[in-house]
Amino acid sequence: MAGGYGGPEVLSVIDIAVPEPKARQVRIAVRAAGVNPFDHKVYSGVFGADPARLPLRLGVEAAGVVTAVGDDAVGPAGPIAVGDEVIAQHAPGAYATELVVPASSVVPKPAALSWEQAGGLLAAGGTAVHVLEAIGLGKDETVLIHGAAGGVGLVAVQLAVARGATVLATASQAKHDLLRELGARPVEYGPGLADRVRAVAPEGVHAAADLVGTDEAVDVSVALVPDRLRVATIAGHQRGARAGIRLLGGAPGGDPGTEIREAARLRLTEAAAAGRLRVVVAGTYPLRAAAAAHREIMTGHTTGKIVLVP
């Protein structure tokens, strides 16, 4: 929970009573909660710093075991019962040991996933699906994905490869072997990026996804992709707005893609259950070390998802 606006130092864990679920709600004993850049933005002041909103409960996704259900507790996959292992997205206050969420936010956890993997699947996965839909990526096309080794990036790479696309993935050299394993052509970011992409893909680039928000990512994408409406950013909204590309996400001016992301939930869990989608966990932290988890994710250099384990 954030008791004020600022950096990770404002985060703390407090004890509060967890209510019984009402109609169309469920209560979950949390086993893992995903950490997302959005969580930091909530208390950093990016979305405003209204003192009346304090304290802020953080987190939007969690995996755990259902401990109680209200009447008509039916999720996207059907009725929910006590003892079900589930994933909840659109779950405000997911940084918790227990929470109550709408049944509509809950889908079954694939048995093939660990708790940590399940806790980090849906926010990144839904964002990845939204990005690929927004740029209209199709079979036999070439896509440039910036920040390809992050939580969203690794899912986007796999989904793009599954669509039959050629994936050019920017990342530091140390992450190239993993990206090759997932079917991408890795390219190191930094000065000269556009020329390196042209060398790897002389046939050209049809679409691009900026998942890091750097000026380089936006500018190189615009330079290489003929149609600016086939370039999207989830993080570089100011630069992206000036460049005339698609702005995605919850920031001002962004398309939240709510329906696309919600519709993707069962597709993502099905793909993970079948082994077609790999969830990479970069690291885990206990709930009381949420500040340390946020400091790591703020570096922008994690490989996969950071997850809190109560």
> Would you list the domain boundaries of the chain?
8-121+279-309, 124-247
What CATH number labels 8-121+279-309? 3.90.180.10
In the numeric block, which tokens belong to residue 90? 């659109």
Cis peptide before 55 (omega within 30 of 0): yes
Write down the CATH superfamily of domain 124-247. Answer: Medium-chain alcohol dehydrogenases, catalytic domain (3.90.180.10)
Percentage of residues in the chain having pLDDT higher than 90: 94
Q: Where are the alpha helices (DSSP H) in the chain?
A: 37-44, 115-119, 122-134, 151-162, 176-181, 193-200, 215-224, 237-243, 258-273, 290-297
Where does the pLDDT of residue 202 fall: very low under 50, low under 70, confident under 90, or very high at 90 and above?
very high
Residue range 28-75, pLDDT digits in tens: 999 999 999 999 999 998 888 999 999 999 999 999 999 999 999 999
**pTM of full prediction above 0.85:** yes
Note whether 8-121+279-309 and 124-247 share their fold: yes
Q: How far apart are the first and last CA of the chain?
A: 14
- Give the β-pairing of 98-102 and 25-35: antiparallel
